[in-house]
Amino acid sequence: MAKSITNNNFLSAYTKSQEDIYVNHQNLYSKLNYNSDDISLDREYSNNRQDKGVNIVDSFRVFHQNIRGLKSKIDELGLYLLDVTPHIIYLTEHHLKDHEIDIMSISQYKLGAKYCRLNLKYGGVSIYILDSLTYDNVNLITYSKEQDLEICAIKLRTQPKNIILLCI
């Protein structure tokens, strides 16, 4: 299974083919070899995605940001997402209460899952999903505890297997 993992601007892309994993950090690519017993990283780097056979058109993109207060940064985030358009957005430290995050909207995305603190300020995690994707919310509220473990998850309905995505 060929996968491309990008660590630039917290954006990760996973391709659909099935051979190798390529790691992109600051536009330098390296091949990550793995089997069930071992993981190794080839020392060969490339500045060109095409050299490694990564098809960006068929890629799955995930964006993560420790937003440190979504309310004051929602417009800036929306502008950034116009250029990137990831399939999934993970936001940590959104600082919103349950009723506040429900009315926050990001164009082209729906709120898939969330955790909001009940008693303390700040914190919270959320997953936004592109409108065109189908998913189910995974209820993890019994495992969450303010300041210790703030977690939410969705099950992305894909063929032939479903994918569980967590935000912690």
Cα radius of gyration (the chain): 17
The pLDDT tens digits for 5-59 are 443 333 333 333 334 444 444 344 444 443 444 444 343 433 343 334 333 346 8
Which bin fits 69, alpha (ψ -120 to 50), beta or left (φ > 0)?
A: left
DSSP string, 100-164: HHHH---TTEEEEEEE--SSSSS--EEEEEETT--EEEE--GGG-BTTTB--EEEEE--SSS-EE
Tell me the one-letter amino acid at 74.
Answer: I
Amino acid 58: pLDDT: 60
Output the pTM of the full model. Answer: 0.67
The pLDDT tens digits for 97-150 are 999 999 999 999 999 999 999 999 999 999 999 999 999 999 999 999 999 999
- Which of 98, 89, 93 lies closest to 119 in space, CA to CA? 98
CA atoms within 13 A on the CB side of 24: 22
Domains of the chain: 3-57 (no CATH), 61-167 (3.60.10.10)
Backbone angles phi, psi at 51, to 5 degrees: -60, -30
